[in-house]
Amino acid sequence: MSMNDKTQSPILALQQQRLLLDMEYTADKETFRKQTEEMGLMRLVKRGDAWCPLRVGRSYYNSLNQLVVEVHRTADTDIEHNFEFGRPVMFFRLIETEPKNTKIKYFSFTGTVSFVDGDRMVVAVPDSANIVDMQGVENVGVQLSFDETSYRLMFEALERTMRGKGRLGYLRDLFYTNQKVERFTFQSMRFPYLNATQEQAVNEVLRAKDVAIVHGPPGTGKTTTLVEAIHETLRRENQVLVCAQSNMAVDWISEKLVDRGINVLRIGNPSRVNDKMLSFTYERRFESHPDYPQLWSIRKAIRELRAHRKRGDEKYHQKLESLKSRATELELRINAELFGEARVIACTLVGSANRLLDGMKFGTLFIDEAAQALEAACWIAIRRAGRVVLAGDHCQLPPTVKCFEALKEGLDKTLMQRIVVNKPDVVTLLRVQYRMNEEIMRFSSDWFYDGQVEAAPEVRFRSILDLDRPLEWVDTSEGNFELGIGNDELGFSNCELGVPEVPSPDLFREAFVGESFGRINKAEAHLTMQTLQDYFERIGKQRLLEERIDVGVISPYRAQVQYLRRLIMKSEYFKPFRRYISVNTVDGFQGQERDIIVLSMVRSNDEGQIGFLRDLRRMNVAITRARMKLIIIGDSSTMTRHPFYNKLFKLCRE
């Protein structure tokens, strides 16, 4: 039975979800096994999935009474890594078996990332881990391990929801059927600093007894609206739970709530490490509590008592139990105060299963960026809530699904999408955007939002240069570009690129560099840099620096992103501007904006194959990051066979 069948019962639909999630789990685990066995260490390092070699620093017990060890990356520090709080890791050592041949030997324990800041990482390890074996040893490394925990929690959440009674069972049946939602009735409240649709969205959140959705297209002030909705909800409720799929999204909404003067307790460590972010984390608050030194002393005494236990000591168990009882009492007292003072508990969806939240219920759960979360992950948090408010945009980035079969069967269909279809009356679309020049915005509005989104007057005509076209497409299919690659300052020759010296359309053909990195188009990367340099010359170097005009260089493919970063790092021209230039994938730019966006499409082939660029939601993100100037670099003969890119190309060339 299809997931899209509206007559499907909630239980059957959830069973289907579980089946698809199991397919994803199996495929993900197998992919991880193959990558670990076949990819090789250098590829893992280049992907950002491993650090090697490491300097292993001190070990100690943190405020959660976990044994942790500090490690420092000593090479390849220019590569963006994928380590973040909560991810499982494995330590290993490189052993030379014969000249020019090494073998990886894994240590017998796994750890969990507790903290990451640049090239320093703190990893929680079991008490039994022999840290001494790693300290002072050469050629030690760490790599990401397969994340069993997240899958286990999602499976458990689906099972719990299928069995659910009471409020959980009610919400399950409500979300999966056309059953009418209930609302409170009261006169609309006025919020002078919000526009009409933002104001409507806040009022609809306050009226909702069961569920409300804030649908925020790019630049429409979704976060502003959500913060206001949370602030007003806290006038009626003592405490709310705020979740998102990623640590970055949780950080973003948490910071905005703190700026509003709301007491936030962040469960789990932030991805952006600074004093402001750390100040409202659970660990930092716990360590700052007046009773913590006493608790630390008791925990130390427990560890010493266990380490120096004497045979035949009859009082050992009595002493141990007495100390453990005092430690538990202090821990409960500290937690009661921290959670009692907090108005917002903020964490990832998976983080909502943290033991610290055991037994806690909330009147309202807010899920930010709900369109990026697998449905199973949402149910982890929903079990703690009386009603649910979802915010996001299902026309932007979808959840990450690695198994093609599971994707085809609809695993990427989110709970937000499901409710939008079944309950259109609970959805409020934010219609005024404050980011983009109207010409950049118009295409996205027409294609994805039925032309309902409009530009605010103050940004409608914003531009960097007078009489400048906000939208531009540099067409590589024309093949008449003098790149000057042969002897340029970047240090790459046409020979290295594997292309002829004479410019031609063949110069811009894509190359495949493996499943992990996807496609690359080196000539297009050079043209991207040249195009950006030409535009900088038009603006003027002095003005760029004085006005701090910022730039985002985006490509859908990781290999292209890494190559573009190399080009910028090697270029003397871009050296003064590097701090204002960010290069990343589309996913890496979610939620961000820049004055100028340059988009390298990469795909160029005779068959018109564009791969995952057919997922237009991803492209919606890419083209809506620009405030004033969007430059697309790509092969029109390949891209325009798809109606979306055909329309976009024609608009750029009008």
Tens of pLDDT, residue by residue over 123-177, are: 999 988 888 888 878 889 999 999 999 999 999 999 999 999 999 999 999 999 9
CA separation for the pair 249, 234 (Å, rounded): 21
Residue 505: band (very low, low, confident or very high) from pLDDT cuts 50, 70, 90: low
CA separation for the pair 408, 505 (Å, rounded): 35
Strand segments (E) across 501-593: 511-512, 519-520, 551-554, 581-584
> What pLDDT, on a 0 to 100 scale, did the predictor assign at position 8?
64
What is the DSSP secondary structure assignment for residue 189, as one 8-state letter?
P
Q: What is the mean pLDDT of the chain?
A: 90
H-run or E-run covering 446: helix 438-448
> What pLDDT, on a 0 to 100 scale, did the predictor assign at position 482?
65
**In the chain, pLDDT over 70 holds for what percent of residues?**
93
More confident residue, 393 or 99: 393
Mean pLDDT, rounded, for 348-373: 96
Q: What tokens appear for 289 in the block? A: 């509590």
How many Cα atoms within 13 Å fall on the side-chain side of residue 562? 19
Q: Is the pLDDT at 7 greater than 50, yes or no?
A: no
> What pLDDT, on a 0 to 100 scale, did the predictor assign at position 269?
82
Residue 95: band (very low, low, confident or very high) from pLDDT cuts 50, 70, 90: confident
> What pLDDT, on a 0 to 100 scale, did the predictor assign at position 387?
96
> What pLDDT, on a 0 to 100 scale, did the predictor assign at position 515?
63
> What pLDDT, on a 0 to 100 scale, did the predictor assign at position 306?
85
H-run or E-run covering 337: helix 316-341
Q: Is the pLDDT at 574 greater than 60, yes or no?
A: yes
Model confidence over 418-446: pLDDT tens digits? 999 999 999 999 999 999 999 999 999 99
What is the DSSP secondary structure assignment for residue 309, as one 8-state letter?
P
Spatial CA neighbour of 222 closest among 54, 444, 432: 432
Mean pLDDT, rounded, for 625-652: 95
Q: What tokens appear for 346 in the block? A: 């903020």
The torsion angles phi and psi of 214, rounded to 5 degrees, stand at -105, 105
Model confidence over 528-564: pLDDT tens digits? 999 999 999 999 999 999 999 999 999 999 889 989 9
In terms of Cβ atoms closer than 10 Å to its own Cβ (0-12, 13-18, 19+), residue 411 is buried
